[in-house]
A = this chain, B = another copy of it.
Amino acid sequence: MIKQYGCPVELAVDVIGGRWRVVILARLKEGAHRYGELRRLTPGISEKMLTQRLRELEADGLVTRKDHETVPPHVEYSLTEEGRSLAPVLQALYDWGVERAARTGARVGSGA
């Protein structure tokens, strides 16, 4: 089914919305990461969610999956050109999140 959006913001939210997508994208913005690294870097996410989101992001053309075909397995995820085009959005979200945390006193991990 082809979806009809009321405005561009709605489209953007549809692609990067949800609990985990932008968090994963924010991690990959720093550089390529292995599956296990992403899992460690994303506290609270389950393996199921991580795999599911990665598959969706792949399908949306924002992330690429590189399987090194080794034993034991070694798989790396990184942003595509399209994924990197999200940089301004991720940066804006990050900056606002920092300010908001300062104003509200919310607890936020280092992000490192």
Mark out the residues of chain A between 72 and 112 whose CB falls within 8 Å of any chain B CB in the assembled complex: 82, 85-86, 88-101, 103, 106-111
Size bin of chain A's contact surface: 35 or more
Instruction: Establish whether residues B42 and A8, one from each chain, have CB atoms under 8 Å apart when the complex forms.
Output: no
Cβ A96 vs Cβ B86 within 8 A? yes
Copies per complex of this chain: 2
Interface residues of A in 1-33 (CB under 8 A from B): 2-13, 15, 17-19, 22-23, 26
- Decide if the interface of chain A is mainly helix, strand, loop or mixed: helix
Question: Are B94 and A12 in contact (CB-based, < 8 A)?
Answer: yes
Task: Knowing A88-B92, A88-B95, A96-B86, say if A13 contacts B5 (CB, 8 Å).
Answer: no
B-binding residues in A (CB < 8 A) = 2-13, 15, 17-19, 22-23, 26, 41-44, 82, 85-86, 88-101, 103, 106-111
